[in-house]
Amino acid sequence: MTFSEENYLKTIYHLTSVSDADISTNAIAEKMETKASSVTDMLKKLSEKDLVNYVKYQGVSLTDKGKLAAKMIVRKHRLWECFLVEKLDFSWDEVHDIAEQLEHIKSEKLINKLDDFLGNPTEDPHGDPIPDANGRIIKVEKELLSEFEKNQIGICVGVKDTSSDFLKYLDKQEIALGSQIEIIEKESFDSSFRIRVGTKEITISNKIASNIYIK
């Protein structure tokens, strides 16, 4: 399997996890910053290899084989992110791009040994679940901070947007995985929030609140 094929599978997998319905050519093209015509070419190839169910003009979905392959790539990506943060002391906003490369290293033995070396983590540095060697995922209940109401208290357990910019913003506000967050006020006009993080009180926009997962 080529890097490119792996990247398409991963993208389809991620798009599937939000929409459930078949994925459109354009959706893939947009997410991968490529052209629809290139996507069509690749879908034919992946279909030929029984990794996706593809019907012309009707969108695409992963086969069982394709889904497992995608999960294994996600597993590698997230385990390498753990390694970078926990062993090499990278910050959580620096690891994604490097993991994008490392996820394509081919060696089952390597990834399983890495998994053990890291103590078989179930979540990556952004709170996303890590599939095990069989593709099984432990799903954790979590809600967006934006869905919370006044006086509710929760723990930050993940982020929806994992861009470096957003993560750096959270660092600045001292919001990290494990931080306790209390809703002091919810402004009805713009749905912004007044929250308490640790000892500090801050105001965050609704856009920020809808990218933080709370439990």
Partner DNA sequence: AATTAAATTTAGACAAAGCTAAAAATTATA
Partner DNA sequence: TATAATTTTTAGCTTTGTCTAAATTTAATT
Pairing relation of β-strands 180-186 and 193-197?
antiparallel
Cα angle: 46, vertex 70, 130; to 5 degrees: 175
Question: Contact, 80 vs 102, CB < 8 A?
Answer: yes
- C-alpha–C-alpha distance, residues 50 and 73, integer Å: 17
Compare residues 110 and 153 and give the one whose CB is closer to a copy of itself: 110
Report how many residues bind a copy of itself under the rule CB under 8 A: 18
SS (H, E, C) 164-188: HHHHHHHHHCCCCCCCEEEEEEECC
Residues from 125 through 144 that contact Mn ion (CB under 5 A): 126, 128
Count Cβ atoms below 10 Å from residue 26 Cβ, excluding itself. Answer: 11
CA 116 and chain centroid, separation:
22
The entry of a copy of itself, DNA, Mn ion, none near residue 41 (CB within 5 to 8 angstroms by kind) is DNA
Candidate residues 10, 71, 76, 96; the one interacting with Mn ion per rule CB under 5 A: 96
Indicate which single residue of 4, 49, 63, 90 sits in contact with a copy of itself (rule: CB under 8 A).
Answer: 90
Q: Give the footprint of DNA on residues 2-61 (CB under 7 A).
A: 2-5, 24-27, 34-45, 54, 56-57, 59
Instruction: Tell me, residue by residue from 109 to 128, as one string, x for binding to a copy of itself by CB under 8 A and - for no binding.
Output: xx--xx--x-----------
Exactly one of 101, 122, 191, 205 binds a copy of itself (CB under 8 A); that residue is: 101
42 binds, among a copy of itself, DNA, Mn ion, none (CB under 5 to 8 A by kind): DNA
Element (H, E) at 41: helix 36-48
Sole window of 85-93, 122-130, 153-161, 174-182 interacting with a copy of itself (rule: CB under 8 A): 85-93
Q: CA dist 206 to 76, 146, 175, 210, Å?
A: 33, 6, 16, 6
Binding site for DNA (CB under 7 A): 2-5, 24-27, 34-45, 54, 56-57, 59
